[in-house]
Structure 1
Amino acid sequence: MQTYVALLYSIVLGEGRRVVMSDLRAMAEGLELNNPRTLVATGNLVFEAQETEIAALEGRLEAAFETTFSRHVDIIVRRAGDWLTLAAGNPFPAESAAAADQVAVRVMRRPVPDEAVAALEAYVGKNEKMQAVGGDIWIVFSRETPSSRLLAATSHKRLGVGTSRNWNTVRKLAELVGG
């Protein structure tokens, strides 16, 4: 058995409706995924399954989500070992220790190309930092800049399918999968 982390891009189903984590766990159980558990109410699912291709798991989860909740949501899946590598690769440990909610990683379905990373440099604001690690984008946001241009620039349209999680969530998911 392999442990996986699944990240939902959005858990908003429509005006005033959000995915309830118990319903998400039930969906995973319906797919015969073992020991499904969630972390906070923001679309983080951990489960065990037979070793399989990541794209196949993403497809199964997305199809089940659409059937269960009547809405398509992109879901990014990582093996537990890959999640632990992502967490260990945080290029901003001092900033994470000081303000974990200001450090985030955009976890990508496919690695962000170098030219896209270079283009993002133009959007890094004062007191912000950005670094690509393993095809994902790590960012330190500034409390002084409430509307970051960098955040807007890391969209699906510009970078491809991905979803962001702050350092608190990354760290807690790493603990949940055994790190």
Structure 2
Amino acid sequence: MPRYALLLRGINLGPRRRVAMADLRALLDGAGYTEVRTHLQSGNAVLTGPDADPVEHERRISAAIDAALGMDVRCVVLTADELRAIVDGHPFTDVADNGSRMMAHVLAEQPDAEQLAAHDPTELDPENSRLGPRVIYQWCPDGLMGAPPVGGSAEKHWKIMVTARNWNTMTKLAELI
């Protein structure tokens, strides 16, 4: 059975949408996933599940969270190959010397050619952002809060959910998977 990376969006960022990682592991086990390992407290996990389109896993996991916790939590599921392609495609290895300031804005789906032609979010930060497969890479030398919102712009214009992780998290997930 294949391995997947799970990126939950918007949990454990404030006092309301709290999910203990032990509870998340138990929930995913109960949903039929195995070898579940979480990373940090921000909704990152790797797991083994049936061979299926990642979108099916996203729906299944979101529904399980809603049923068990009463929370509408969206997520992105990447195959092991998709995660490895994101990590291997890092375009700023020559300058990004701080993994907490190198961001991967992971896309729920790849935008189509029409969306790409109509709006390129990397134009907000052309020196420090690049588009990759299901990801917008962004080097934020002054920190994420001071960087142009390329992920938010993509989400707004493409109507595709985006969830961001720093490079330390992405490489750790790649190790765990």
TM bucket, shorter chain:
0.7 to 0.9
Alpha-carbon distance, 1:153 to partner: 3.7
- Contact kept, 8 Å, 1:117 with 1:132, in 2: the verdict is no
Q: For 1:42-57, what aligned pairs fall within 5 Å after superposition? A: 42-57=42-57
Q: TM-score, normalised by structure 1?
A: 0.86
Q: For 1:29-178, what aligned pairs fall within 5 Å after superposition? A: 29-96=29-96, 98-112=97-111, 113-115=115-117, 118-121=120-123, 123-124=124-125, 129-143=128-142, 146-151=145-150, 153-154=152-153, 156-159=155-158, 160-177=160-177
SS at match of 1:157: helix
Alpha-carbon distance, 1:95 to partner: 3.0
Q: Which amino acid aligns with 2:49?
A: A
- Contact kept, 8 Å, 1:62 with 1:75, in 2: the verdict is yes
Alpha-carbon distance, 1:154 to partner: 3.5
Alpha-carbon distance, 1:75 to partner: 0.7
Alpha-carbon distance, 1:23 to partner: 0.7
- Contact kept, 8 Å, 2:101 with 2:143, in 1: the verdict is no
State how far apart, in whole Å, the 2-side matches of 1:109 and 1:59 are: 12
- Contact kept, 8 Å, 1:4 with 1:78, in 2: the verdict is yes
- Contact kept, 8 Å, 2:103 with 2:167, in 1: the verdict is yes
Alpha-carbon distance, 1:116 to partner: 5.6
State how far apart, in whole Å, the 2-side matches of 1:174 and 1:111 are: 20
Q: Which amino acid aligns with 1:29?
A: D
How many residues are treated as equivalent by the alignment? 173
Deviations 1:50-80 (A, max 9, x none): 2112111111000011112211111100111
Alpha-carbon distance, 1:136 to partner: 1.4
58-67 vs 142-151, greater mean Cα deviation: 142-151
1:22 and 2:22 equivalent?
yes
Alpha-carbon distance, 1:16 to partner: 4.7
Q: Which amino acid aligns with 2:62?
A: E
State how far apart, in whole Å, the 1-side matches of 2:119 and 2:139 are: 15
Q: Give unmatched runs, 5+ long, in structure 1.
A: none
Give the CA RMSD over aligned residues.
Answer: 2.3
